[in-house]
Structures are given as structure tokens and as C-alpha cells.
């Protein structure tokens, strides 16, 4: 499954879970889907936060954001969980113009 999105921003995180002592590493990525998937209950477009691996983030880390892209996702039918796979066709947005 893929959607047209604007990648708003991404921020790596790396911390130790105080309860378990486990090291948690990843990237929070905020995107704006360019299609309203719930037009009956939502007005406008709502940003969504996804978790990326450091390797997935490395693919866009040198790209100035915000940027327009195709966001590829996988859906687990059993759990109905949507997982980020990758971005493609990433193009920087010129907001100054």
C-alpha cells in the first residue's frame, strides 16, 4: 500500500527504558497524508506519526524537509497494524516560493 504524503520532519531517539533497562533506538517521523481517509469524521488533513528504524531514516536523512514523497506501508491483516516500509520519489518542497 502506498500514499502520497508530505514528510514534515523526523527526529532520532535513543534512550534507556527506566522500567526494563532496555536501550530503545529509533526515529519518530511525522507525515501529512495528502488524502483524507476519514472524511465523515475529519475536516482537513491530520499529521500522523510513524516509527522508522535508523536504517530507514538514513535513506532520507540528507534530504531537506519538508518534502513530498510516496510512503510505502505494509498492513498486517490479522492485527490491522500498519507499518512503515520506505519512502520513494522524495522531492523537496520549496516553501519560500
Give per-residue pLDDT as tens, 65-77: 999 999 999 988 8
Chain-centroid distance, C-alpha 69: 10
**93, 6 in Cβ contact below 8 A?**
yes
Q: Does position 27 have pLDDT exceeding 90, yes or no?
A: yes
Q: Does position 16 have pLDDT exceeding 90, yes or no?
A: yes
- Residue 69 burial class via C-beta count within 10 angstroms: exposed 0-12, middle 13-18, buried 19 and up: buried
**49, 72 in Cβ contact below 8 A?**
no
| Mean pLDDT for all residues in the chain | 90
Enter the pTM of the model.
0.83
Amino acid at each position: 500500500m502506498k500514499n502520497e504524503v508530505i514528510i514534515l520532519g523526523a527526529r532520532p531517539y535513543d534512550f534507556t527504558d527506566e522500567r526494563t533497562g532496555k536501550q530503545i533506538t529509533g526515529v519518530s517521523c511525522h507525515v501529512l497524508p495528502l488524502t483524507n481517509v476519514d472524511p465523515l469524521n475529519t475536516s482537513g488533513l491530520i499529521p500522523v506519526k510513524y516509527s522508522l528504524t535508523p536504517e530507514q531514516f538514513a535513506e532520507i536523512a540528507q534530504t531537506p524537509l519538508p518534502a513530498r514523497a510516496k510512503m510505502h506501508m505494509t498492513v498486517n491483516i490479522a492485527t490491522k497494524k500498519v507499518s512503515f516500509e520506505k519512502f520513494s520519489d522524495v522531492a523537496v518542497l520549496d516553501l519560500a516560493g
